[in-house]
Every structure is written in C-alpha cells, then in structure tokens.
Amino acid sequence: MEIRALRPDEFDGVRDIRARAFGPVPDEAWRQRVRRARPTLEAGRNFAGFDGGEIIATGTLYDMTQWWHGRAVSLAGVSAITVAPEQRGRGIGRELMTGLLERAAGFGHPLAVLYPATTTLYRSVGWEHAGAEHHVEIPTEALRTVAADRVSLRRAGPDDAAEVAAVIGRAHRAARDCGPVGWDEPMWRSMLETDEHFCYLAEDGFLAYHWNESATGLEVLRLVASSERTLRALWALVGSGSSTAETVRACVAPYDPVLWLLRERETEYVHRSQWMLRLVDAPAAIEARGYPSGVTAGASLLIEDPQLPANSGHWRLEIKDGEGRLERTAENAGAVRLGPRGLAALYAGVPVATLRRTGLLQGGDADALSPAFAATPFTLDYF
C-alpha cells in the first residue's frame, strides 16, 4: 500500500469508502464536507492508502494545539480513519496508522489525539485512553436567570476567525485547562461559515450553539469565558430560548463553572466520548507541556516505542517550577519502564498506581510523577 497526501481533485474519490465505513453521505452533506476539508487538503493533510490506483484507506491529520496546564502544545488531530470493508483484517489499518504517525512527526507535532472506533487497533500502535468529551443536559429555564450584568456581545462570522481563536486560547490559558484543542485560523474560518451554528463573541468569551436535529432542544457546542460576568451572559443567552426549548445539551468540562451557577442540581447523566493520546516526540511533548506550580519531581525512564524508535531508550525526566525536561542518559537498571501507551496515560494524568496495576508502568520509583502530571483532561471538539 502506498500512503500519500490526496490532491484536492482526488477528494471526491473518498466518498464511496466513507459511505461504506460510516453510512450514506447525502449530496448536501458531502458538499459541506468538501468545503470543510478545503484547508486540510490545501495543506497536504488528507491522506489515502492506494493499491494499484484504488483508494483502500484514508486518514486526516488536522493542524491543532492542545492545552496542558495553560500551555499550548502542537497537536495532530487524527480523523476520518477508514479501511475498505473488503480490505479489513489484513493489517491495513495498522499500516495506515504507523504511516500517519511518521507524517505527524514530519509535521513537527509532539502529540497526536484521536477518537477511537476501536481501541484494539490504536493500542497496537501505542495510543492510550486519556480523556473525554463530556455532554450533560441542563433545563433551559435554569440558565435563563444566571446573568448578573449585560455584556457586549456580537454575532461572529468567518471574518472573526483569528479573534475567535485568540479569545478561546486566552480562556484556556487562564483556566490552566488540560485537553481542549485549538484550531488554526483557516479551520476556524471554515467552521464559522456554517449557517446552522449560532456564534457569539465577547471580549473574553465565545459561544457556539444550534438546534438539535428535531428542533426541540438546543445544543451548546462550545462556551468558554475568562470572567464570571461574560460566562453568565453567554449562558443566559442560551437560556433565553426557554420558551421554545425545554432542555440544553451542552459540551462542558468536568468541572465547568456553569455546573456551579445553577440554582438546583440533582441527578446528572453525562455522556462521555473517549479520546486517545499518543506522544509523537517525547522530549518535545514533555518540554511543551505545562505542569502544576510548586511541584518538583524526577525519575529515570526506559521507554520502548517500536513505532517511533526516536522515543526509545534511557531518559532522565525532571519537572520543576512548571517546566519539564526529558534528556538522554546512561543505562539505569532501576529505571521506570513504560511503552508509548503508558507514557501517554502518564502524560494525561493517569495516576502511577493505576498504571502499575494495569502493567503500563513497571519498576523504578515513580510515585512523585502523579502530582507532577496531575490533570483532568477534556475536550470540547469531536473530530
């Protein structure tokens, strides 16, 4: 199988394989998909596996960032992984994912994230579960009264792409969030062109929501704000639809402030869409990440990464004053041993005790790493 970037004029050729993998794609839905794919196609980030000129597999690498304790880390968002039904069971998916990892490294991304359709395939090439996209349902009436003061808001469109990206980035940085992703300006422009979404921009906040498919309720796709005043105003705007929408389905952080603004909270049903993480360039990923302030930790590591050998070997990990370093060192028989799955889970804040009991981390003294990597990762985007 030859894996290469698709040319824009070849993109229609993936429609059939997408339909066979995910279901029929009506004409209008396909036109929208082609429009949204334009930035990645032009950047050479839509890939296909070819066998004798026939497309038998596809995958996309979005150019993104991911926030970790207030710092943005370059990220490859892996999406649209498909294998033709008649080609499944031959190792095509594993070959495709290995090729995409190499290309993510070539683009200079220290991290890669995906939403798995199957855990087994992605674990076989070093991915591990790290966080989730969380959805809750909130009575619309409960949101109508959360506002304290009026805030200057305006509708946002494609020409606001750069400002939207900046406002969202400042909000995640200030909150020292872990997990949310950021899109580049061309992708934001493409997303803000969608008529179905209602987008509002404040000086320190952004809201995107729409009606659900049956037009009986609202769905908040993203609501972020750096101040209480703007946070209340944006949620109250959603709540203003209480006369026609009984409920709001909202994508929120596990500790989203809105959950503490509501007057009443009873039983909450949370829908989680799990995502998986992979370190592509381990030293760069450790250095780019933010860490809890006031925490100091160190450990000798032995990493074994068959797919990305540059990550393999003996390392010294040091974390201090919110900074991390991973540097080559001599062999150490007492090193903490882990593969790419264990390294990804540790990076995402999974406690060392959990990793030991699952066999993802072995040997050495690693207890101090749990507070150093402490995090509750979440995302507000499904891709």
Q: Is the residue at 321 inside a domain?
A: yes
Amino acid of residue 114: L
Is the pLDDT score of 148 beyond 80?
no
Q: Is the residue at 123 inside a domain?
A: no
Burial of 267 (0-12, 13-18, 19+ CB in 10 A): exposed
| Residue 150 shares a structural domain with residue 255 | yes
Residue that finishes a domain, picked among 262, 284, 315:
262
Strand partners, 350: none
Looking at residue 215, what is its pLDDT?
82
pLDDT 10s digits, 266-308: 888 999 999 999 999 999 999 999 999 999 999 999 999 999 9
| Residue 254 shares a structural domain with residue 316 | no
| Residue 257 shares a structural domain with residue 280 | no
Q: Are strands 336-338 and 297-303 parallel, antiparallel or unpaired?
A: parallel
| Residue 232 shares a structural domain with residue 284 | no
Let me know how long the chain is: 383
Name the residue with higher pLDDT: 145 or 127: 127
| Residue 236 shares a structural domain with residue 181 | yes
Looking at residue 343, what is its pLDDT?
98
Burial of 356 (0-12, 13-18, 19+ CB in 10 A): middle
Looking at residue 85, what is its pLDDT?
94
What's the mean pLDDT in 68-83?
Answer: 97
| Residue 218 shares a structural domain with residue 154 | yes
Strand order in the sheet with 297-303: 323-328, 313-320, 297-303, 336-338, 361-362
What's the mean pLDDT in 224-243?
Answer: 96
Residue that finishes a domain, picked among 81, 109, 137:
109
| Residue 84 shares a structural domain with residue 165 | no
Closest CA to 81 of 98, 65, 106: 98
Q: Is the residue at 130 inside a domain?
A: no
Does residue 299 contact residue 286 with C-beta atoms inside 8 Å? no
Q: Is the residue at 115 inside a domain?
A: no
Looking at residue 117, what is its pLDDT?
92
| Residue 153 shares a structural domain with residue 254 | yes
pLDDT 10s digits, 101-120: 999 999 999 999 999 999 99
Three-class secondary structure of residue 181 per DSSP: strand
| Residue 223 shares a structural domain with residue 313 | no
Q: Is the residue at 334 inside a domain?
A: yes
State the residue range of the domain holding 51. Answer: 2-109
Q: Is the residue at 133 inside a domain?
A: no
Does residue 146 contact residue 235 with C-beta atoms inside 8 Å? yes
Q: What is d(CA 220, CA 202) in angstroms, rounded to the nearest whole number?
A: 16
Domain count, the chain: 3
Lowest mean pLDDT among 16-30, 58-72, 275-289: 16-30
pLDDT band at 145 (very low <50, low <70, confident <90, very high): confident
User: Which residues have CB under 8 Å from 34's CB, separation 6+?
Assistant: 11, 12
Q: Is the residue at 203 inside a domain?
A: yes
| Residue 257 shares a structural domain with residue 156 | yes
Looking at residue 214, what is its pLDDT?
85
| Residue 155 shares a structural domain with residue 243 | yes
Report the CATH number at residue 320. Answer: 3.30.1050.10
Query: 96-121: string of b/e by CB count within 10 Å (b at 16+)?
Result: bbbbbbebbbeeebbbbbbbbeeeeb
Could you tell me where the DSSP H helices lie in 176-240? 185-192, 228-239
Residue that finishes a domain, picked among 209, 232, 262:
262
Strand partners, 337: 302, 362
Report the CATH number at residue 169. Answer: 3.40.630.30
Q: Is the residue at 33 inside a domain?
A: yes
What's the mean pLDDT in 7-24?
Answer: 93
Q: Are strands 178-183 and 54-68 parallel, antiparallel or unpaired?
A: antiparallel
